[in-house]
């Protein structure tokens, strides 16, 4: 829960939740209300900035993404890595076979075509 994480970071920094609320320009009990409700993104940003950390770190999302990656499984991650390696090899092969006699306009057309193909596949 976000309130618990904010309290943990505040405790690490030696500041109480009430003091933090006042430093943010809110009432003493404002952050305590987040035990049962969600704050606005602006308020979360303000606290993250005060502590000099990212919103993800404040919300402890780093752990979420580690768990998400674990849930993908090694087979899925290996598949993604292989596709990336294959694409890199194809680009290297393509670049090696471009003739030096292409005009700048032709080279620009080739680059635009490659960008089109890449964007087409990203949108799938």
Point out the residues of the chain with pLDDT beneath 50. 65-66, 69
pLDDT given for residue 44 in this prediction: 93
What does the alpha-carbon distance between residue 41 and residue 31 come to, in Å, rounded to a whole number?
A: 13
Tokens 């943010």, located at residue: 24
Domain 2-59, CATH number (from 1.10.760.10, 1.10.260.40, 2.40.33.10, 1.10.357.10) = 1.10.260.40
Nearest to 20 by CA among 41, 36, 44: 44
pLDDT of residue 51: 87
The verdict on pTM exceeding 0.85 is: no
Q: Output the six-digit token pair for 42.
A: 């602006």
């Amino acid at each position: 829960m976000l309130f618990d994480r904010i309290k943990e970071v505040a405790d690490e920094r030696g500041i109480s939740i009430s003091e933090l609320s006042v430093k943010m320009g809110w009432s003493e009990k404002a952050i305590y209300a987040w035990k049962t409700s969600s704050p606005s993104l602006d308020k979360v940003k303000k606290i993250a900035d005060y502590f000099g950390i990212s919103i993800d770190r404040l919300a402890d999302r780093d752990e979420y993404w580690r768990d998400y990656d674990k849930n993908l499984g090694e087979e899925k991650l290996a598949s993604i890595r292989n596709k990336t390696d294959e694409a890199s090899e194809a680009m290297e092969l393509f670049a090696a076979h471009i003739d030096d006699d292409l005009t700048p306009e032709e080279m620009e057309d080739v680059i635009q075509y490659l960008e089109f193909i890449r964007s087409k596949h990203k949108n799938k």
